Structure formats: structure tokens, C-alpha cells
Amino acid sequence: MGENSDNVKDDVKKKSYAGIPEAEFMEDVDKYMESAPINGNAEMVLRKLDEQHSKYKFMEFNLISKRRRLKVQIPDLEKSVDMIKLLMKQRNSTVDFKTEFLLTEQVFMKASVPPTDKVCLWLGANVMLEYTLDDAMELLNKNIDTAKRNLGFVEHDLDFLRDQFTTTEVNMARVYNWNVKKRQAAKVDS
């Protein structure tokens, strides 16, 4: 049982969370190239592998963009949590506290904030909702956990994708070399 469960764990580790197709390594290039639909057509196989490689590049671009967004989102959420903590400390005070906030890019504004037990959060798509401080803290912490988990999935998929690049590139080189050998053999036979 231990050996089978380890194999299952390894299979799960190897797979992609985003459903990236796995590149199959050509064990026996001669056998693969002589199979029925291919019939030794190296150009067709190389074109197919090049197309697969391009698809992997596109997936990589999307994953890198997603990783970049998550790496910006997590610190923003953590800053919001810090602000909620500050508001929680000040909630029972009778004195306003002074702070600065970002009005637009590189423009800060000074503000005097009265004690409060409510806060408004941007949810996206031009939507803002008012929450109690406790509910806002819970929502932000949940969003941080989700963003960190998603970042882990993206990192895993990028690693998986690098393996697919390598496998595809090795397959391309092996088919190219097979074709060169075939052409050289045909010249010798002529």
C-alpha cells in the first residue's frame, strides 16, 4: 500500500492545477516516426511540436501575468489588514487620529479619522461595500489566504510548464536528428 500511495502522490505533484497538457517524451523515435499517421514525415511532427511549444509559451505568459498580479495584490491586502488593525485599536478612543492616504498615483492626502467600527472596502468592478471592522478583517484575511494559495498553484504550474518545455524541446531535437540521419542514409544509398 505504501508504494502505491507514494506513486499516486508523485502523479498528483506532477499534474497541473490549470489543466496544462503534459508533453509525452518520445522513448523510441524510430518507432514513433514510423507509426501510421506520421509515416516518417519529420516536417509534420516538427510543426506539431513547434505548435505545442508555442501554446506552452502562451500559457507561460498568462501564468506569469497572473503571478505578477497576485504578488501585487497580496501586499495591498496586507496593508489593508494593517489599517483595519489600527482602526480597531482606535475604535474606543475619543480622539481622532491623523493619517495620510493615497488619493491618486503618487498623491497623498492628510486626513483626520474619527473612531469608527465600520469601514468601506473596494471589492472590484467599481463596487464598494461597508463592513464592520471584524467582518472586514475576516474577509481580508480570507482573501490573503486565497491569494497565497493561488500564488502557490501558479508557481507549481510554472514549474510544471518548464518541464513541458524541456520535454517538447528534447522531442524536437530528437526528431530533427532522426531526420538528418535518415537523409544522410538516403544519400549513402544513392
Q: Which three cell numbers stand for residue 127?
A: 463596487
| Helix residue ranges per DSSP H, 27-132 | 29-33, 42-90
Q: Which three cell numbers stand for residue 187?
A: 544519400
What is the pLDDT at residue 51? 97
Please identify every stretch of the chain with a pLDDT value under 70, giving residue numbers as ranges. Answer: 1-14, 190
CA distance 95 to 122: 26
The ranges assigned to domains in the chain are 29-175
What is the pLDDT at residue 9? 47
pLDDT in tens, 58-91: 999 999 999 999 999 999 999 999 999 999 999 9
Contacts of 102 (CB under 8 A, 6+ apart): 108, 109
What is the pLDDT at residue 14? 56
Query: Which value, in Å, is the radius of gyration of the alpha carbons in the chain?
Result: 28
Q: Which residue has the cell 524536437?
A: 172
| Helix, strand, coil % in the chain, rounded to nearest 5 | 65, 15, 20
What is the pLDDT at residue 83? 92
* Topology of the domain covering 29-175: Helix Hairpins (1.10.287)
